Every structure is written in C-alpha cells, then in structure tokens.
C-alpha cells in the first residue's frame, strides 16, 4: 500500500487533504490524474447502470436532507459503531476490531492502559442549519446516498411514468464520522458512493436479488479486474444492517487483505414503509396494469464506493515489471543493465485510464513537434490526450506507463516522409506503424477489442 500511496501522490492521483497544515484525517484530494480516473469510473458505472438498462433512470439529490429522513431510515437510532477509548494514551478503537481479550481485560492494545466501557457512537456528522445552534436547527450530512432516492421515488414514478420493476441510480458524496480511518482512501470520512435502488414487487425480491448479484459480478469482469481477487461474502445475522433481509458483499483482495468493495442488499419494504410512517404520505405503488393493485415495493440495492473502487482499480492495475530485451525489439525503450530495465505500470482498462493517448515527438526539432501537436489537436476531440516532448523516448514511455496511458503515438523522421506514426501499446510494449489518417479509428478499435493480458 505504501508504494500505491506514494505513486498516487507523485503522479497527481491523490493528495492528503490540507497537507500544508499537517493533513486532515479521513479526507483526501484528487489531483489531475485522480479526478480523471474517478470521473471515468463514475462514467463506466453510470453507463452500465443507466444507459444499458431501459428501466433505470438517474438522480442527483441534495446532501442535506430533512432531519426526519434519518429518523425514518433508522440511522439516528442504529447507525452506530461500538467505541472504546484508552484513558492513558487517548487512542480510540472500534470495539469490534480489537482482540476480545483486550476488551474483556479492558486493556489498551497499544499501550496497555485502561480502556473505557464500550459505548455506541453514531457515525453521522451532525451540524446546524441557519444561525441558531439549537436542537431545531440540527441537520446531518448524509451517510448514504440511498435515502435521496427513496424520498424521490414517487416523483420519479410520476414524472417518468416508471413501472415496476424499475431502478434509480445515483452517484454522490456521503459522510461518516469513522472511528478508524486507515489504508489510504479505503475508509474515509468523506467519500463517494454509486448506488442503485431497484423497486420490485414483493415476492419477486429474491429473484431480483440473485439477478443483481450476477450483474454486479459481471461488471467487474468486464472492466478487466483480476477475478481471482474478487469473492462473495454473505452477511451473517450479526453483520446485517438494520434494514436488510439479506446482504452479500463483493470483496476484493486489497494489499491489506480481503475487504468489502460493494454491497448488494435486499432492503425489503423497510425504507419506503418507514418513510410512509414518518412522512404520513402514501408511498404505495399503484399497479395500473393489474387492477390498480397497491403495495409498498421491495428494494434491491447495489451500493459501491466510488473512491473505494478507485483504490481497488489502482491496486489491481499496479505492476512492476522487468523489461527484457526481446520485449523491446524494434523499440528504443530502456537498455539492459540500466535503471530503465524496470518499469512501474498501471494496467488500467482504456475506458478508465485518465489519459488515453500520449503524443510524443521523437525530437523537438525538424518539424516533428509541429506534426505531433497537429495530431494531438485532431485526437483530443475524441480522446483524453497528453503531449510530452522532453527527455529520452524510453523515459517518456515510462512516465506514461506510470500514469496508465494505454497508447503512445510517436512521431519520428519517417512520419515526415510517409505520413505514418508509431503506435505503442502499454501492456505488451509492442509498436506498430500506422498511417496517420487511420490513427483515430485504429485507437477506437483497439479500445473496443481490449483484453487485459497481465
């Protein structure tokens, strides 16, 4: 994880928040490459969950919601972690994450000091709206995006004439006052979620629950994630959230071990039932195709962390490779025995890579830079491009490998003569000559046909 964190900072993916003040725990900033990667992951999820489904629509609800929302959802009462403090070193622990013998003996796992009794700690950030700081002005930062969907479900049925089964998808910020934030951006206080709520007829929920598990698994396969680094974990009775009848996590083998990446939950009619009760509004669905049958729909939820997905995709793509001479045939990359014999590379899927194509003139002089700039101007309409003319070509390839750029286009002297360029592939490091006029189409077809080889 140290290598990942340091590469992420060095190349401008992720920085510590407020670093010049010593950093802010639980918060991170996404730099130029990080914001592109995050946007692309969000875009891939959005396409998968909305564009590829005729019956799923999008929503962007406010972070600040009426405080009754969180009473209805059960978060005010139940969204807690068990907390213990050390009276001596003042460290804080989640009681469920320290050894049982320390809890029983009330002994701090760090310094051996005395631990407090376990108490419930609510994870919601509470603040005040308006100038008065009294109980009437309390408002929460949402701890999940899902509730914004539930309170809008009737609006969307009416405005978009949705018929069950249908889904609503949303990407947005969520906030949790996490007791322990570690492992880089894995668990943070401010993060982003990509959630989809699928409204179904009671009795069909188990079937849809199985279907969504299948679809979410297939999604990661499509992105070229190492499938032996993914597994399912079904929640036991002690792990189930207060709203869930059944829940499965997709776990990923992060550098610190297997951890939750995404949850698929059968939330039953819990949420809409509670919002009916707390708002006094009738949230039943009226099935006009079935004698106006009325019922509160069941909800199947797929809930993935966007920032956690970014960490997973980064870890999954990361590799250090020795460059052997035969891989280099015909190329000017690294010489045996030099530091360039090794490369750090991010094998991002081309749909996710922050830069899709880098254009590199072999030399700045003799008109090569002008041709390269020209090519960039043409390609930037369709692709995220970068331009780099400084340093040896081998080093420039290394820089693009580290950024996860799947294609490099090199302009050399031959380009001036026959209007061809070199197209270099990140994963295989192979190079082919392509007529400049065919470059854009060739890149397009390479992206479509992309299969991860490492």
Residue closer to ligand GAP by CB (options 7, 27) is 27
Residue closer to ligand GAP by CB (options 268, 356) is 268
Cβ within 8 Å of residue 357, ≥6 positions away: 379, 383, 384, 385, 386, 405, 406, 407, 408, 409, 443
Q: Which residues bind ligand GAP (CB under 6 A)?
A: 144, 146, 176, 178, 187-188, 191, 193, 195, 260-263, 301, 303-305, 307-308
Q: How far is the CB of 30 from ligand GAP (least distance, A)?
A: 13
Spatial distance between the Cα atoms of 143 and 133, rounded to a whole number of angstroms: 21
Phi, psi of 418 (to 5 degrees): -115, 10
Residue closer to ligand GAP by CB (options 272, 360) is 272
Residue closer to ligand GAP by CB (options 48, 301) is 301
Q: How far is the CB of 47 from ligand GAP (least distance, A)?
A: 19
Q: How far is the CB of 235 from ligand GAP (least distance, A)?
A: 10
Element of type H or E holding 42: helix 32-46
Q: How far is the CB of 173 from ligand GAP (least distance, A)?
A: 11
Residue appearing with tokens 């490998």: 401
Q: How far is the CB of 80 from ligand GAP (least distance, A)?
A: 13
Strand order in the sheet with 420-425: 385-387, 357-361, 407-411, 420-425, 431-435
Residue closer to ligand GAP by CB (options 298, 407) is 298
Phi, psi of 298 (to 5 degrees): -85, 155
Cα distance from N-terminal residue to C-terminal residue, the chain = 20
Residue closer to ligand GAP by CB (options 266, 307) is 307
Residues in a beta bridge with 94: 83
Residue closer to ligand GAP by CB (options 176, 343) is 176
CA–chain centroid gap for 57, Å, is: 20
Residue nearest to ligand GAP (CB): 305
Residue closer to ligand GAP by CB (options 85, 195) is 195
Give the residue from 121, 124, 51, 115 showing the smallest Cα distance to 85: 115
Asked if residues 411 and 421 have their Cβ atoms less than 8 Å apart, the reply is: yes
Q: How far is the CB of 306 from ligand GAP (least distance, A)?
A: 8
Q: How far is the CB of 181 from ligand GAP (least distance, A)?
A: 7
Residue closer to ligand GAP by CB (options 176, 216) is 176
Q: How far is the CB of 303 from ligand GAP (least distance, A)?
A: 4
Residue appearing with tokens 């989809």: 196
Long-range contacts of 122-130 (CB under 8 A, 24+ apart): 122/75, 122/76, 122/79, 122/80, 122/177, 123/79, 123/80, 123/81, 123/176, 123/177, 123/178, 124/70, 124/75, 124/76, 124/79, 124/175, 124/176, 124/177, 125/175, 125/176, 125/177, 125/189, 129/64
Q: How far is the CB of 266 from ligand GAP (least distance, A)?
A: 12
Q: How far is the CB of 215 from ligand GAP (least distance, A)?
A: 16
The SS3 call for residue 381 is coil
Residue closer to ligand GAP by CB (options 187, 275) is 187
Characterize 221-238 residue by residue with b for buried, 16 or more Cβ atoms within 10 angstroms of its Cβ, and e for exposed.
eebbbeeebbeeeeeeee
């Amino acid at each position: 994880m140290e290598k990942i964190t340091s590469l992420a900072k060095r190349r401008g993916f992720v920085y510590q928040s407020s670093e010049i003040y010593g950093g802010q725990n639980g918060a991170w900033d996404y730099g130029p490459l990080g914001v592109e990667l995050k946007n692309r992951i969000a875009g891939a999820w959005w396409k998968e969950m909305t564009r590829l489904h005729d019956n799923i629509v999008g929503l962007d609800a406010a972070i600040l919601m009426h405080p009754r929302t969180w009473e209805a959802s059960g978060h005010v009462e139940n969204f807690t972690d068990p907390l213990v403090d050390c009276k001596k070193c003042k460290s804080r622990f989640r009681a469920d994450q320290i050894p049982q013998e320390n809890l029983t003996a009330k002994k701090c796992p760090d310094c051996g000091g005395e631990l407090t009794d376990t108490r419930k700690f609510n994870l919601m950030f509470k603040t005040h709206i308006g100038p008065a700081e009294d109980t009437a002005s309390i408002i929460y930062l949402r701890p999940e995006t899902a509730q914004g969907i539930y309170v809008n479900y009737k609006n969307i049925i009416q405005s978009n004439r949705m018929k069950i089964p249908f889904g609503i998808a949303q990407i947005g910020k969520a906030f949790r006052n996490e007791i322990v934030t570690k492992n880089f951006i894995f668990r943070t206080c401010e993060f982003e979620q990509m959630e989809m709520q699928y409204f179904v007829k009671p009795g069909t929920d188990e079937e849809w629950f199985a279907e969504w598990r299948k679809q979410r698994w297939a999604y990661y396969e499509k992105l070229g994630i190492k499938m032996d680094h993914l597994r399912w974990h079904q929640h036991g009775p002690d792990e189930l959230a207060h709203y869930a009848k059944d829940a499965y996590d997709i776990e990923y083998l992060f550098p610190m071990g297997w951890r939750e990446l995404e949850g698929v939950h059968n939330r039953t009619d819990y949420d809409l039932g509670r919002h009916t009760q707390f708002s006094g509004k009738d949230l039943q669905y009226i099935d006009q195709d079935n004698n106006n049958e009325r019922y509160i729909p069941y909800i199947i939820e797929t809930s993935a962390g966007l920032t956690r997905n970014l960490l997973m995709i980064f870890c999954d793509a990361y590799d250090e490779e020795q460059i052997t001479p035969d891989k280099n045939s015909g190329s000017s990359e690294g010489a045996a025995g030099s530091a360039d014999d090794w490369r750090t590379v991010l094998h991002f899927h081309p749909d996710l890579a922050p830069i899709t194509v880098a254009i590199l003139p072999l030399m700045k002089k003799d008109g090569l830079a002008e041709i390269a700039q020209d090519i960039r101007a043409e390609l930037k309409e369709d692709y995220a491009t970068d331009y780099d003319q400084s340093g040896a070509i081998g080093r420039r390839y290394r820089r693009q490998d580290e950024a996860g750029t799947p294609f490099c286009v090199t302009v050399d002297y031959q380009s001036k003569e026959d209007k061809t360029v070199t197209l270099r592939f990140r994963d295989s490091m192979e190079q082919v000559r392509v007529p400049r006029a065919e470059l854009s189409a060739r890149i397009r077809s390479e992206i479509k046909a992309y299969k991860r080889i490492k």
